[in-house]
Amino acid sequence: MNITILGAGAWGTALAISFSHDHTVQLWGRDTHQITEMGTQRKNIRYLSGITIPESITLTSDFNAALSGADLVLSVVPTAALRETLRALAKTAPGLPVIWACKGFEQTSGKLAHQIAAEELGKQAQYGVLSGPSFAREVAEGKPAALTLAANDKQFADETARKLHNNRLRVYSCTDIAGVELGGALKNVIAIAAGISDGLGLGNNARAALITRGLAEATRLGLRLGGKLETFMGLTGLGDLVLTTTGDLSRNRRVGLALASGEPISAILQNLGHVAEGVYTAPEVVRIAANLGLEMPLTEAVCGVIEGKLTAAAAAEALMRRDPKTEAYS
């Protein structure tokens, strides 16, 4: 299969490396200087240093050339750039199946990626989302991982998952696009909360409670927005949540650790050098939950710290002072 990957960040590069073992892969990036450097050195020094890019992967900054001959497009640009990318794709190569690997809500509209795709590609197009517990560096190094591909068409989901599946990257399929996207988006907010907890030195007990109640919080909202319960208990729900809240490679967890030390969010993001979607997802989640009449205490606390309205310690104390409730996921 000829696969075109749009987005030469850490995750786009890692997926290109993984899929290049079984498929012909073109990797596109909008930064001509970066792509030229990657082609010369066969490394993505900016986002994935120390990993060699196989010679079989074609690198290009020419959007039209990247799409030429493609059987499948994998968009790995940030959520903020997804609409622009899909619009360009629909104009250049209409009808080409596309999968995205970004996580979060569109800031201007609060829409999920599949809603954007329906608007830009049309509801009859074949599209889906690839998500799950996976750090780019580990995938690029060939370490085992498992992902879920959710698509609007079951046959497309099953067949594409089978083609992308390899002996290091297991790919499962389903049709719960909303659930998969929501799990991927909401876990980033909980990861910031986990980082704050760890940064404050609150201990393993607190982290375990936070992860569990974070899953409950995410599931409540996810079910109201059309996701399925089993999705939130699977790879793109519980699995991704555990990885992102505990792994040292998690960007969102690192944001939480820095917030706990008192750093302002502007400085944290500048030093991070990567996109941390949880920072932009948190206020959208609070807004959506308020419209639905749902309580999202962890997300509200994270927002308060990000916006400078609460110190990390004050946010933790406020959560502990909440009245006891019946444990529930819906």
Active-site annotation, residues: 187
Q: Which residues contact 162 (CB under 8 A, 6 or more apart)?
A: 171, 173
b/e per residue, 48-73, with b = 16+ CB within 10 A? beebebeeebbbbbebeebbeebebb
Determine the longest span between alpha carbons in the chain, in angstroms. 59
Which sign, positive or negative, has the C-alpha torsion 71, 59, 138, 152? negative
- H or E element, residue 72: strand 72-75
Query: Could you tell me the CA-to-CA distances from 138 to 190, 192, 320 in Å, in that order?
Result: 22, 21, 36
In this structure, the number of other CB atoms found within 10 A of the CB of residue 98 comes to: 24
SS3 of residue 291 by DSSP: helix
Q: Which alpha helices (H) appear in the chain, and where do they start and end?
A: 10-19, 32-41, 63-67, 82-92, 113-121, 136-140, 154-164, 177-199, 204-224, 229-232, 240-246, 251-260, 265-272, 277-292, 297-306, 312-320
Query: Distance (Å, rounded) from C-alpha 152 to C-alpha 277?
Result: 24
- Measuring CA to CA, which residue among 222, 323, 301, 275 is closest to residue 107? 275
SS3 of residue 35 by DSSP: helix
Query: Distance (Å, rounded) from C-alpha 62 to C-alpha 293?
Result: 46
Would you give the end-to-end CA distance of the chain in angstroms?
A: 41
Query: Distance (Å, rounded) from C-alpha 324 to C-alpha 233?
Result: 24
